[in-house]
């Protein structure tokens, strides 16, 4: 992972995002790009007759505040040992991040920002979603992989390889609930081909699937949970819940590596 994109807004969690990006970049000889976004459309109002009104003073202030934030980030990063650049956008955050991530290896956001799920669906780049106060250590000490044999979990596993390399404790967690898909032993075999050892934890479902996985992950003390994003449809998860929504709604626990 040598091209790392960070959502650089002024919300909580920025320090954890930046520290994580720098750590991954150092470990891989990588480059960090910070995206500072000012969504202009939020300052445009439409009237009933079809006209538009721009809150120009508020927009100017938002642009000035983001310029100042970008300046502080540049000042900090100039003292680090990692190459970087700072880019600006005026689109909505998910659109801006998805566009900037086209040639990135990883996008880092905070779970509390509410962007991770939409971004995982909008971008082909894996999304690392962090708790506000917890940076992801490099190298990892412990990780879990949520495996259901589907395309999404396989995609997430492939993308996670650089983060998993050298991790001494990896659990592949699967919940026995549906036939079909690649068996979890295939995930172990795939990891072994890349020199990564993992153990299999096959669990009977107790309560919901997400609750079963959550208990197993907590037991390991994992710092990272690798999982496919929205194996069910987004609407079905919104209406009835699901694994992706459950873990994105949690504001604590391990970092999430998501891919769809």
Map out the domains of the chain with their CATH numbers.
3-130 (3.40.50.620), 143-259 (3.40.50.620)
Q: What is the pLDDT of residue 239?
A: 41
Q: What is the pLDDT of residue 151?
A: 92
Q: What is the pLDDT of residue 45?
A: 77
Q: Which two tokens stand for residue 202?
A: 């096959």
Kind and range of the H or E element at 130?
Answer: strand 127-130
Instruction: For the beta carbon of residue 34, count every other beta carbon within 10 angstroms.
Output: 26
pTM over 0.85: yes
Q: Which two tokens stand for residue 125?
A: 């780049």
> Dihedral of the CA atoms 177, 180, 181, 185 (nearest 10)?
70
Instruction: For the beta carbon of residue 24, count every other beta carbon within 10 angstroms.
Output: 23
Kind and range of the H or E element at 191?
Answer: helix 184-193
- pLDDT in tens for each of the 260 residues of the chain? 999 999 999 999 999 999 999 999 999 999 999 999 999 988 887 666 666 667 889 999 999 999 999 999 999 999 999 999 999 999 999 999 999 999 999 999 999 989 999 999 999 999 999 999 999 999 999 999 999 999 999 999 999 999 999 999 999 999 986 566 689 999 999 999 999 999 999 999 988 999 999 999 999 999 999 999 986 655 555 544 489 999 999 888 999 999 98
């Amino acid at each position: 992972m040598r091209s790392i994109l960070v959502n650089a807004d002024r919300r909580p969690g920025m320090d954890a995002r930046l520290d994580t990006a720098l750590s991954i970049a150092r470990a891989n000889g990588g480059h960090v790009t910070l995206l500072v976004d000012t969504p202009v459309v939020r300052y445009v109002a439409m009237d009933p007759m079809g006209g538009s009104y721009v809150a120009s003073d508020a927009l100017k202030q938002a642009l000035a505040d983001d310029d100042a934030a970008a300046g502080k980030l540049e000042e900090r990063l100039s003292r680090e040992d990692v190459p970087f650049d700072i880019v600006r956008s005026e689109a909505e955050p998910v659109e801006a991040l998805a566009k900037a991530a086209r040639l990135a290896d990883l996008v880092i956001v905070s779970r509390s920002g509410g962007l991770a799920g939409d971004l995982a669906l909008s971008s082909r780049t894996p999304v690392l979603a962090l708790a506000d106060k917890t940076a992801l250590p490099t190298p990892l000490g412990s990780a879990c992989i949520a495996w259901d044999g589907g395309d999404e979990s396989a995609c997430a596993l492939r993308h996670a390889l650089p983060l998993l390399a050298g991790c001494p404790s990896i659990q592949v967690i699967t919940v026995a609930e549906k036939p079909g898909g690649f068996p979890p032993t295939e995930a172990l075999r795939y990891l072994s081909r890349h020199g990564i050892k993992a153990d299999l934890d096959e669990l009977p479902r107790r309560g919901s699937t997400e609750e079963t996985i959550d208990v197993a992950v907590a037991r390991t003390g994992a710092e990272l949970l690798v999982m496919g994003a929205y194996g069910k449809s987004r609407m079905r998860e919104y209406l009835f819940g699901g694994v992706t929504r459950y873990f994105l709604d949690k504001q604590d626990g391990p970092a999430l590596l998501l891919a769809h």
